Amino acid sequence: MKMIEAKDICTAYLEGYIYAKITESLITGQIKSSYLDALKKIAVESVKNYIENSAFSNEEKEEMKNNYEYWADITLHGIKQRLRDSHKLCE
């Protein structure tokens, strides 16, 4: 049986604390609509780069390129609507 070292326990505790603090602000705070718009742009660029550098065929890449912005828009709309419904979106 492997023994857990003190540094591993401390690291796990600190990571858990950081995640808890981040989650707390997401649960109790509000999110600006402009932040979500900026995140969408970053996500779209990331997906675009992923598609361009992937091993998919050119036909598959073209199909994906035609759909990724559409899906990003739909996803963003859904996220904003849920946040609006829970009064957590600051517009």
pLDDT at 56: 84
pLDDT digits (tens, 9 = 90+) for 61-90: 888 888 878 888 888 898 899 888 988 888
pLDDT at 1: 63
Domain ranges of the chain: 30-90
Structure letter (DSSP) for residue 2: P
pLDDT for residue 9 is more than 80 = yes
How far apart, in whole angstroms, are the C-alpha atoms of residue 91 and residue 78?
15
pLDDT for residue 53 is more than 80 = yes
Site of tokens 């505790």: 13
Q: With contact defined as beta carbons under 8 Å apart, do 44 and 65 qualify?
A: no
pLDDT above 70 covers a percentage of the chain that reads: 99
Give the amino acid at 55: A
Contacts with 10 (C-beta within 8 Å, 6 or more apart), sequence order = none
**DSSP strand E in the chain: where?**
31-32, 89-90
pTM: 0.59
